[in-house]
């Protein structure tokens, strides 16, 4: 495999095209995970909320629908491209209490004690300096404010065993390359709670949650989606020799196919939900 899709170089612009192409089905696949985080965060009407690493808009969009007109939500991300998709999604839902802006979680452009709640879905593990980002989150929270994060659980789960594990089998070498290892940075129980406590948080909670992670379509389409949008695994995918590409695709489609019911690929995903109070 090479760093192309068709004749388009794989990079930021291509990821944006892929994100827009798959946004509806990707949103459906991640809906249960978003719902789990929103419930865990205990969102209330009137809250002022900050969502870190918002990407294409969740959970900020779901949270904005719950805080109501008396509340507000700001979603930030270093990359402005996905935020354009997020803003369009918010506009489609007429969410006047939600806005998105580029920003660095490690240097938040907000005053102390500005927010009641901070959320992040599958984002905190990618911060270069997670300790600094969590200290910033602590700073901008109001007294008694809450932070709630959702991160990936172990790599040993159906979604990754049916895709990534089979790539490793073909290419050999390190089980996790540096870029993909970040995805599982807080997969070990106690790792993110430890960082939150070091950043000054208290009353830290952690729980494991397994939720549906279903793709609305055939295995071939899900594998195409995975290859196009899974940036952390891009170096690994690119390391597959052309001579092994057909065998890899055959193995992946057979593995994913075991979960296909003729309409959707019924996988599950395991996450850690971690919350803390200022």
The predicted pLDDT at position 7 comes to 31
Residues 6+ apart with CB under 8 A from 204: 193, 196, 197, 274, 275, 276
Range scoring the smallest mean pLDDT among 18-27, 116-125, 167-176, 179-188: 167-176
| Residue 2: alpha-carbon gap to chain centroid | 25
All structural domains of the chain with their residue ranges = 4-277
Nearest to 98 by CA among 123, 80, 76: 76
Range scoring the smallest mean pLDDT among 7-11, 20-24, 69-73: 7-11
The predicted pLDDT at position 234 comes to 79
The predicted pLDDT at position 16 comes to 62
pLDDT of residue 254 exceeding 90, the answer is: yes
Give CA–CA dist 228/18, Å, rounded: 6
Read off the pTM. 0.89
The predicted pLDDT at position 4 comes to 30
Give CA–CA dist 56/65, Å, rounded: 16
The predicted pLDDT at position 19 comes to 67
The predicted pLDDT at position 11 comes to 43
- Phi/psi region, residue 262 (left: phi>0; alpha: psi -120 to 50; beta: rest), is left
Mean pLDDT over 19-34 rounds to 87
Give CA–CA dist 195/202, Å, rounded: 11
Peptide bond into 88 cis (omega under 30): no
Architecture in CATH of 4-277: 3-Layer(aba) Sandwich (3.40)
Q: Give residue-wise pLDDT tens across range 161-176.
A: 999 889 888 877 555 5
The predicted pLDDT at position 24 comes to 85
The pLDDT > 70 percentage for the chain reads 90
The strand pair at 98-102 and 115-121 is best described as unpaired
Name 146's bridge partners: 117, 277
The mean pLDDT of the chain is: 89
pLDDT of residue 188 exceeding 50, the answer is: yes
pLDDT of residue 267 exceeding 50, the answer is: yes
């Amino acid at each position: 495999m090479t760093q192309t899709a068709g004749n388009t170089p794989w990079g930021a612009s291509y990821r944006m095209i892929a994100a827009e192409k798959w946004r509806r089905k990707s949103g459906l696949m991640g809906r249960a995970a978003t719902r789990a985080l929103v419930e865990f965060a205990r969102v209330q009407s009137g809250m002022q909320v900050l969502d870190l690493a918002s990407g294409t808009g969740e959970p900020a969009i779901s949270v904005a629908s719950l805080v109501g007109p008396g509340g507000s939500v700001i979603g930030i991300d270093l990359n402005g491209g996905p935020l354009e998709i997020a803003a369009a999604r918010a506009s489609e839902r007429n969410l006047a209490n939600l806005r998105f802006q580029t920003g660095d979680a490690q240097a938040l452009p907000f005053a102390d004690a500005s927010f009641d709640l901070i959320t992040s879905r599958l984002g905190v593990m990618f911060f270069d300096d997670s300790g600094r980002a969590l200290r910033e989150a602590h700073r901008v929270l109001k007294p008694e404010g809450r932070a709630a994060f959702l991160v990936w659980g172990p790599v040993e789960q159906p979604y990754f065993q049916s895709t990534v594990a089979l790539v490793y089998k073909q290419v050999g070498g390190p089980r996790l390359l540096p870029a993909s290892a970040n995805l599982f940075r807080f997969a070990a129980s106690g790792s993110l709670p430890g960082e939150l406590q070091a950043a000054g948080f208290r009353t830290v909670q952690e729980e494991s949650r397994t939720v549906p992670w279903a793709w609305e379509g055939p295995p071939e389409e899900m594998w195409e989606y995975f290859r196009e949008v899974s940036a952390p695994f891009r170096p690994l995918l690119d390391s597959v020799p052309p001579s092994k590409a057909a065998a890899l695709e055959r193995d992946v489609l057979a593995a994913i196919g075991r979960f296909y019911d003729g309409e959707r690929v019924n996988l599950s995903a395991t996450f850690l939900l971690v919350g803390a109070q200022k």
